[in-house]
Structure 1
Amino acid sequence: MPSQLEELVSFLHSPQPAVRQIALDNLIGFSTGPASSLFKYDNFTPVKDLKELAKENSKILVQQSITILVNLCDDATMRKIIADDTEFVKYLITKIIDLKNTNADVMCILLSNLAKEDTITSVFDMVRESSKDLDEVFGSSKLIDCLMDCFVKGYDRELNKYANFDYLSYFFADIARFRRGREYFINKQEYDGVCPISKLLVFTEKYDSKTRREGVASTIKNSLFDSETHERILNDETINLLPYILLPITNSKDSEIDEEDMFNLPDELQLLPEDKVRDPVTSIICTHLESILLLCTTHASREYLRGKSVYPLIRELHKNVEDEDIGDLCYRIVNMLMRGEPEIGPVEEMPVKNAEDGDVEEDDEDEEMIEVA
């Protein structure tokens, strides 16, 4: 005999909307922690029901069902069941780019959680149907391009008054773990001739949104795991990567940079306004330092960084910020930049630990799922 709670989840596929609503009202509180195992009842039928409820026309039904799915992503098995349903993932993305959708932001959270699964790379093959409204906003039929446009153009709620799309930054960071994702970010796209990563860089200093800065910083880092692309990226003026990695780690009060070093800095860092401050979140500074460390992998990139006075900036950061993790990363960067170069042969280490074969492994922090109360 099923328990009362198991009977409750069975109501999710009731033909009566009012019964489904009552079930959702009572089940949200069970979607986190150990209680979430309830949704594995009857071979995960409640998960399947929730995906169907997410397609309803009711704003409340959709919001509650998506919220529960977001929380269930903390369980690897249920997350995989949701992510492996590529038709549902495609539906989710088409609703995110629906600029009248009141639930777009919570759907962005769900999409970012699903990006922990390898099957998320299917998004690169998904296209939207043509419609007059969408064609006027999006220059591409590829859903990944539409998501990028939502993130870049919709941060101030100009595209959708109900959404700022900030959580797409975490989605971008995770798809950049895969080689196909990295190739997407660092290569010009047909529809606009622009490298997507160059569109994200301006948000490294958006200090009113930790989510956006954090996700963008991780996207940059993950896009740099292929060392053979570093020299091209650094020298591509249309991307202009380095200043946007360095600006978040600098402060206008960093005074002990001599005139010659100052002259060699990227133009964007030579005349900082007096109110320029470092990113207030040390973990984000660490992510940018990890990006710099990755760029130290090849001789050509190290020479480029030396020529742009990166060492004096790292020295000032280390001197003025007391944080063990920042200090450790600064030490490793200085070791890479200031040691003598061998006449031949590659650097003997890949300086950031989570790179393996073609794809990047997540660290413990990246594994954390976003939950919705």
Structure 2
Amino acid sequence: MDSIDEIQSFLRVDARLDLKAVALGCVLGLTGTEDGRCMLLRRPCLLSALIFLAQDKSESIAKEACLAIVNISAEELGSRSLLFSHDSKGTAQDADSDNNIVVVMIKMIMDPDSCLADHACMILSNLTRPSGNIEHVILLIEKCGFTLDQVVSVFTTQGYNRRGANLHYLGPMFSNLSQSITFRRFLMDHERCIIQRLLPFTEYESSHVRRGGIVGTLRNCCFDIENHDWLLSPKVDILPCLLLPLAGPEEFEDTEMDKLPPELQYLPESKLRETDPDIRKMLLEALIQLCAKRSSRELMRERNTYLILREFHKWEKDRTVLLACENVVDILIRTEDEIGEDNIHDIDVPLELHQKFQKMDEDFIKD
């Protein structure tokens, strides 16, 4: 029996607490190195044992098991092993199984008295990062006794967890899941109020993780052109929520100010712009997607989007973000005759021009 097999023999729920703790400590240490993680991934039964121990009656044991799973799931191979390791055919597990990692983590998140809900959020965020895992995770969430609507409600309910868990990492999980058309259809169901409940978190100061996750989710939703009119309509009104984090405390002439959405008018001197350049870039990427249709471009011009972006461009220092801003402005300042197409995606750009523009963008960022 090698050392890993010996350790695994103590990773049982019914093992003595002290032996279980020592064995789990060894496993947690191994998850901190690439070689250690590779060694563990060759033992599917050990991964299964960790999922069982994440539900241990001892909070300290359960916490260490969750920390080990966080580390293992951070890499694609580890996340897939945790999702599929118990099925030799590589298919998703039975949603009723106590060793189904998605079901176990969702139950932790939905339990308001769980002290491990934040760890569970991190694990699900990791599991959904590889695009090949997303549909499996959605399927399991829908079969585990809770709805996606309930998961969103938990995220948007302040103080839901009574043990101090903040559930911020559900934001990145939503962003990952929104790569799937299945999840985007759920978010943008016109008969329900789902995406509207996420909009306020574009300005959530307490956590850039939550803020960035929701901005990423909204950015992905903006890729669905068929929903642009609805997203920009009063039923959702996404535009102010994308522009407000990019707005500063600048004062404008009354004639300019009156054209802005009310949320962007007469902002206080203390108004700060989004501090994270990656989030600023995602906001601009959402805006450029919304520029696809003529009706959307006209609405964005009417609501003086250019004014906010003009002042933002003066302030921005990050070259990658500046380029994203200029791409939006370049569309908005053109007349519709110059654009020449209702849907901007219908414009046929020759390959040589596309390559030339790409090279220009790369040179701009490097400059």
Q: What is the TM-score when the length of structure 2 is the normalising length?
A: 0.83
Secondary structure, counterpart of 1:12 in structure 2:
coil
Aligned-CA RMSD value: 2.1
User: For residues 301 and 126 of structure 1, what CA distance do their matches in structure 2 show?
Assistant: 38
For 1:81, the equivalent position in structure 2 comes to 81
Letter of the 2:137 partner, please give it.
I
- Report what 1:338 is aligned to: 333
| 2:231 corresponds to which of 230, 233, 248 | 233
Contact kept? 1:93, 1:143, Cα under 8 Å = no
Letter of the 2:111 counterpart: D
Residue 246 of structure 1 pairs with residue 243 of structure 2: yes
The corresponding residue for 1:161 is 163
Within 1, Cα distance between the matches of 2:277 and 2:207?
Answer: 15
Q: Distance in 2 between matches of 1:287 and 1:299?
A: 22
2:117 alignment partner in structure 1: 104
Q: 1:170 aligns with which of 147, 169, 172?
A: 172
Q: Which residue of 2 aligns with 1:126?
A: 143
Q: Does 1:149 align with 2:147?
A: no
CA distance in 1, matches of 2:326, 2:309: 9
Measure how far apart 1:333 and its partner are: 0.5
Name structure 2 gaps, 5 residues minimum.
84-91, 348-367
- Rounded to whole Å, the distance in 2 between the matches of 1:123 and 1:264 is 46
Find the partner of 2:292 among 297, 315, 321: 297
CA distance in 2, matches of 1:143, 1:78: 26
Given that 2:125 and 2:173 are in contact with CA atoms closer than 8 Å, whether structure 1 keeps it comes out as yes
1:259-312 per-residue CA deviation (whole Å, 9 max, x = no partner) reads: 333211111111212211111212211111111011111111111111110111
Partner-residue secondary structure (3-state), 1:264: coil
- Secondary structure class of the residue paired with 2:115: coil
For residues 86 and 244 of structure 1, the distance between their equivalents in structure 2, rounded to whole angstroms, comes to 40
Residue 226 of structure 1 deviates from its aligned partner by: 0.8
Measure how far apart 1:161 and its partner are.
3.1
Letter in 2 for 1:240: D
2-side partners of 1:124 and 1:229: how far apart? 25
Question: For each residue in 1:160-215, what CA deviation from the matched residue of structure 2 results, as whole angstroms up to 9, or x when unmatched?
Answer: 233111111011111111001111112256xxx42x11111111112121111111
Distance 1:231 1:241 in 2: 10
Question: How many residues matched?
Answer: 326
1:21 aligns to what? 21
Alignment of 1:220 with 2:218, yes or no, is yes
Q: Would you say the 8 A contact 1:286–1:329 is kept in 2?
A: yes
C-alpha contact 1:94 1:143 (8 A) present in aligned 2: no
- Structure 1 residue 348: deviation in Å? 4.0
Q: CA deviation at 1:246?
A: 0.6
Contact 2:294–2:342 (CA under 8 A) maintained in structure 1? no
Number of the residue aligned with 2:68 = 68
User: Separation in 1 of the partners of 2:116 and 2:26?
Assistant: 20
Q: Deviations over 1:125-163 (max 9, x none)?
A: 2353xxxxxxxxxxxxx4312211111113xx3542331
Report if aligned partners of 1:104, 1:162 keep a CA contact under 8 Å in 2. Answer: no
Cα distance in 1 between the residues matched to 2:94 and 2:263: 43
Give the AA of the match of 2:295. A
Q: Deviations over 1:58-109 (max 9, x none)?
A: 2112111111111101332331132344632123212211111111111111
Matched-pair contact (CA < 8 Å) for 2:202–2:215: yes
Residue 263 (structure 2) aligns with: 268
Q: Is the CA contact 1:55–1:62 (under 8 Å) kept in the aligned structure 2?
A: yes
Q: Provide the residue aligned with 2:38 in structure 1.
A: 37
